[in-house]
Amino acid sequence: MELFTYSLTCNAIKVSLILAELQIEPELKLISLNKGEQKRIEFLSLNPNGTIPVLKDKDKVLWESNAILFYLAKAYNSSLSARNFQEEVEVMRWLNWQASEWSPASSGFAHHRVMRPFWGLASDEERLATLDNSFKRYAEILDQQLSWQDFLISDDISIVDISVASTLMFWREAEIPIEGYSNLNEWLQRLENQLWWMETKQNLKNFMI
Ligand SMILES: N[C@@H](CCC(=O)N[C@@H](CS)C(=O)NCC(=O)O)C(=O)O
């Protein structure tokens, strides 16, 4: 298995988290986004969108991080998959929400406060100032969903939790305003207590050295 990735971004983090949970170590192909390697012709033949992550598993080439989560969980018979039709519908709903609403509202914090400084670029304070309101709107939805169960689609972890929590991996470093959302905080703590979460976080810290 080969993973074309740039470890620090939230969509890449999703895939690293599930691979750590499944205890699969793919061959890592680093695509340096700051050098524009994702727009090179060889890479575009794998993903015409020119974005990471891309997973190659035998003859299967997959882009779109949520589809990669779905594929890995199913292909490797993971308990992170939906267990019945009702859960499948929930997985579909929350993965779409993650991509269309939550990611735009939450990924900018780590981008501006972790990734850009890592590349030696200034964070865009004006852009950051605009993020708070939309973040609050969607954090409230998450907090509400987590008021009656431990994880987003049930009391067990699923790929939805990995997908949604990926933008919060650096919540402390990126000063993401999660205080005040007690259910969300407890959920994140439950995820942070998982060995595969800790291992992924440590790998990211090593990447930044
Ligand atoms: N919807 C895609 C988004 C992929 C995406 O935008 N990846 C970012 C990193 S998180 C990227 O490669 N950006 C580089 C670029 O757009 O040139 C997914 O979930 O995989």
94 and 172 within one domain = yes
Tens-digit pLDDT profile for residues 39-58: 999 999 999 999 999 999 99
pLDDT at 124 over 90: no
> Model's pTM, two decimal places?
0.97
> Which residue among 46, 75, 104 closes a domain?
75
DSSP 66-79: HHHHHHHHHHTT-T
Q: Residue 3 forms beta bridges with which residues?
A: 28, 55
Q: What pLDDT, on the 0 to 100 scale, is given for residue 5?
A: 98
Q: Is residue 80 part of a domain?
A: no
* Lookup: tokens for 62: 């997959």
> Is the pLDDT reported for residue 142 higher than 90?
yes
Q: What is the pLDDT of residue 125?
A: 86
Question: Are both 95 and 191 inside the same structural domain?
Answer: yes
Ligand 1 atom with the shortest distance to the CA of 6: 9
Residues 111 and 192 in one domain: yes
Helix (H) or strand (E) holding 3: strand 2-5
Give the pocket of ligand 1 (CB within 6 Å): 9-11, 33, 38, 50-53, 64-66, 99
My answer on whether omega of the bond before 177 falls inside 30° of 0, hence cis, is no
Confidence of residue 24 (pLDDT cuts 50, 70, 90): very high
Residue 37 lies in a domain: yes
Distance 12 CA to ligand 1 centre (A): 8
Contact predicate 204/7, CB 8 Å: yes
* Predicted confidence (pLDDT) at residue 123 exceeds the cutoff of 90: no
Of 54, 75, 96, the domain-final residue: 75
Helix (H) or strand (E) holding 54: strand 54-57
Residue range 163-198, pLDDT digits in tens: 999 999 999 999 999 999 999 999 999 999 999 999
Map tokens 């020119």 to a residue. 50
56 strand-pairing partners: 2, 61
Establish if 200 belongs to a structural domain. Answer: yes
- Could you give the CA distance from residue 89 to residue 83 in angstroms, rounded to a whole number? 11
